[in-house]
């Protein structure tokens, strides 16, 4: 088993890193963009828009759902997906704060 040193960092950095890791795949960014455009849709619709198999799209949806960026509501045999606006707003605020801290510190150095 591999030991990671993530726990040595504060929870804010751990949280940002987890979300950044999930968002680091272009397919997941494309899914987020598509859901923003559509408001809500089923995974089959997403598969028609993303050049990946339904199984692969489903795996990407699960990763986005795991960190709370999207929600999935079961409707019979289908799952309707939509963005979680409050989570996306929280993520945006957290990254804004993070980058603001970096820029303030960098202005004093270079």
Average pLDDT over residues 38-67: 90
pLDDT band at 47 (very low <50, low <70, confident <90, very high): confident
Q: Which CATH number characterizes residue 93's domain?
A: 1.10.10.10
In a domain, 70, yes or no: yes
CB 69 within 8 A of CB 25: no
Residue 4 lies in a domain: no
pTM over 0.85: no
Residue 83: closest CA among 19, 37, 22 = 37
Domain assignment of residue 62, yes or no: yes
Whether residue 97 lies inside any domain: the answer is yes
End-to-end CA distance of the chain: 41
Contact 32, 69 (CB under 8 A): yes
Residue 5 lies in a domain: no
**Neighbour order of strands in the sheet with 78-83:** 40-42, 78-83, 70-75
**What digits encode the pLDDT tens for the residues 68-102?**
999 998 888 888 999 999 999 999 999 999 999 88
Domain enclosing residue 84, as ranges: 15-107
Count of helix runs (H) and strand runs (E) in the chain: 5, 3
Q: What is the tally of structural domains in the chain?
A: 1
């Amino acid at each position: 088993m591999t030991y990671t040193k993530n726990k040595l960092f504060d929870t804010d950095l751990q949280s940002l890193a987890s979300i950044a890791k999930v968002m680091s795949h272009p397919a997941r960014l494309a899914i987020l963009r598509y859901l923003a455009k559509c408001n809500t849709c089923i995974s089959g619709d997403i598969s028609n828009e993303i050049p990946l198999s339904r199984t692969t799209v489903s795996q990407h949806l699960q990763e986005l759902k795991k960190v709370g960026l999207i929600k999935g509501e079961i409707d019979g045999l289908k799952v309707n997906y939509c963005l979680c606006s409050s989570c996306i707003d929280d993520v945006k605020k957290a990254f804004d704060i993070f980058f603001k801290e970096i820029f303030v510190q960098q202005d004093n150095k270079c």
